[in-house]
Amino acid sequence: MGFLTIYQDNYTDSTVISNRFIDEYMQAANDAQLKIYLYLIRMMSARLGTSISDIADKFNYTEKDVLRALKYWEKNHLLTLDYDGHKNITGIHLLDSNAGADMLSITRGAATASLATYPAVTSQSFQQTPPFETAESVTPVKQLYDKPNYTADELRAFKTNEDSARLLFVAEQYLKKPLSAGDVRSIFFIMDQLGFSEDLTDYLLQYCVDRGKRDFRYIEKVAISWAQQGITTPKQAASLAGKYDKSVYEIMRALGKNNIPTETEVAYIERWQKIYCFEPDVILDACERTVLATDSHRFEYAESILKSWYEIGVHHKSDIKALDADHHRAKSSRRQTPANKFNQFAQNNYDFDALEKEILSN
């Protein structure tokens, strides 16, 4: 196992931890993540070398635990990992925790870790680990969040780890059932690939169960949504969940959407509520028609219906019934009246049947 030499320009015989790390990062990290990060800072300060296997031995972790911790801090922009052509780690770049949004840039206060003079890591267990995403990676989001095919040994190690074993027990209490192998794999994926801490995973399970969702396909979708939005703590997740009022989620469900609303989706809903000034029952009626009419582009389809109603002057659900009655009479009249040069013209009535074609053609 090759050694990782961690160093910086200004050497001091002390280990300095920033206040920002204490205030913003410590609470969300688990014991393994904290120990490994602090140890890296300690080794950097002393200009001492280390390796994945040495860190694992020192703290009685598996190499997989160490790699997960490194990946977690990389996702939180406190370090980046360098790789050779064989996807082996060749360096650890510790970033300034006070650099804010510019953490991924190389700054004056950043410490550089280099492994140029050491052999590449060739551990069998490490080579089987999916390559981590670096700041320079252009891996598509879908590929980034694909669930690996974990081996039986990896799952066994995950289940016997003290922290994850405690979390699996709590998950069974929330779900009120024993966890299947697939359930364990999902939780492993959420913590391993998405970098969720034990506390955030715990909150995720509570969040989904409180909404009557115990299917891990749904739980994974919520987890991926949080990861894409940079959620790393239960506090951030709670803030996001409470960001929108109940009516937003009711409209989302009416359109068959169970995800946390995106900015675009919220913009549509706010337009219907605040610009068109429709009552909830009018919006839900449009959502019901949308779901019956199409399986795709549902927000666009509902927008077309509601925009048309707004332009016509619909204010209440009773107006919709009158509009539907007029539409039905006009449609019946077109079927019954013989075509001639006097009635071959477009009827100025709202036509639901043409709506989807118009949307999909745009």
User: Tens digit of pLDDT for each residue in 44-91?
Assistant: 777 677 778 788 888 888 888 888 888 888 888 888 887 777 777 777
CA 145, CA 224: separation in Å to the nearest integer?
7
Q: What is the pLDDT of residue 3?
A: 57
Provide the residue ranges of all domains of the chain, joining segments of one domain with +.
Answer: 4-135, 152-240, 246-361
The size of the chain, in residues, is: 362
Q: What is the pLDDT of residue 98?
A: 56
Tell me the pLDDT tens digit for each residue of 166-176.
999 999 999 99
Tell me the pLDDT tens digit for each residue of 269-287.
989 988 899 999 999 999 9
Rounded average pLDDT over 215-239: 87
Least confident range from 2-16, 152-166, 208-222, 255-269: namely 2-16
CA 234, CA 30: separation in Å to the nearest integer?
13
Q: Distance from CA of residue 36 to its chain's centroid?
A: 25
More confident residue, 105 or 322: 322
289 has pLDDT over 90: yes
CATH class for domain 152-240? mainly alpha
CA 283, CA 302: separation in Å to the nearest integer?
8
Strands 113-114, 4-6: pairing is: antiparallel
| Coil, strand or helix at 296 | coil
Sheet of strand 113-114: strand arrangement: 49-50, 4-6, 113-114
Tokens describing residue 323: 């509009």
Instruction: Place 351 in a pLDDT band, splitting at 50, 70 and 90.
Output: low
Q: Give the closest residue to 197 by CA, choosing from 332, 24, 340, 68.
A: 68
CA 163, CA 68: separation in Å to the nearest integer?
13
Tokens describing residue 249: 């989620």
> Considering the chain, what percentage of its residues have pLDDT values greater than 90?
17
Q: Measure Cα distances from 92 to 22, 51, 100, 102, 129 in Å.
A: 21, 11, 19, 17, 17
More confident residue, 351 or 12: 351
Q: What is the pLDDT of residue 255?
A: 92
Tell me the pLDDT tens digit for each residue of 174-226.
999 899 888 999 999 999 989 999 999 999 999 888 878 888 988 998 898 88
Rounded average pLDDT over 219-240: 86
Q: Give the closest residue to 327 by CA, choosing from 308, 348, 311.
A: 348
Q: What is the pLDDT of residue 20?
A: 80
Q: What is the pLDDT of residue 288?
A: 93
107 has pLDDT over 90: no
More confident residue, 124 or 191: 191
The answer to whether 4-135 and 152-240 have equal CATH topology is yes
> Considering the chain, what percentage of its residues have pLDDT values greater than 70?
71
Tokens describing residue 107: 């700054």
Q: How many CB atoms neighbour CB 261 within 10 A? A: 19
- Looking at every residue in the chain, the average pLDDT score rounds to 75
Rounded average pLDDT over 260-273: 84
Instruction: Place 361 in a pLDDT band, splitting at 50, 70 and 90.
Output: low
Q: What is the pLDDT of residue 264?
A: 82
Tell me the pLDDT tens digit for each residue of 54-65.
888 888 888 888
CATH class for domain 4-135? mainly alpha
Tokens describing residue 128: 């089987």
Q: What is the pLDDT of residue 283?
A: 94
Least confident range from 25-29, 59-63, 337-341: namely 337-341
222-226, 265-269, 299-303 — most confident range: 299-303
